[in-house]
């Protein structure tokens, strides 16, 4: 039972940030695509903006791994 809860916790730690990141990236991505189509010189800036929310999942992943290694 305890293991199952730890597993669930780890899954949530990755899953929820993943959803949030996906939502943010979808919005930024469509705006970025439109902006690059109009002004190709903004490509680098757009890649950076698009990449920003990804940090959330990476941190979530770290938390998940820590959870599993520490408690499971």
> Could you tell me the smallest distance in angstroms from the CB atom of residue 62 to another protein?
6
Burial class (CB in 10 A: 0-12, 13-18, 19+), 3: exposed
Torsion of CA 7, 67, 12, 30, to 10 degrees: -130
Task: Establish if 58 lies at the interface with another protein (CB under 8 A).
Answer: yes
Residue closer to another protein (CB basis): 8 or 31: 31
Query: Under rule CB under 8 A, which residues in 13-52 are in contact with another protein?
Result: 23, 27-28, 30-35, 37-39, 41, 43-44, 47-48, 51
Name the residue with tokens 């929310």. Answer: 53
Question: Contact with another protein (CB under 8 A): which of 8, 11, 59, 72?
Answer: 59
């Amino acid at each position: 039972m305890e293991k199952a809860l730890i597993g669930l916790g780890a899954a949530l730690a990755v899953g929820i940030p993943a959803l949030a990141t996906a939502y943010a990236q979808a919005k930024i991505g469509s705006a970025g695509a439109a902006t690059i189509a109009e002004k190709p010189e903004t490509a680098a800036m757009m890649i950076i903006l698009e990449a920003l929310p990804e940090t959330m999942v990476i941190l979530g992943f770290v938390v998940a791994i820590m959870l599993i290694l520490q408690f499971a």
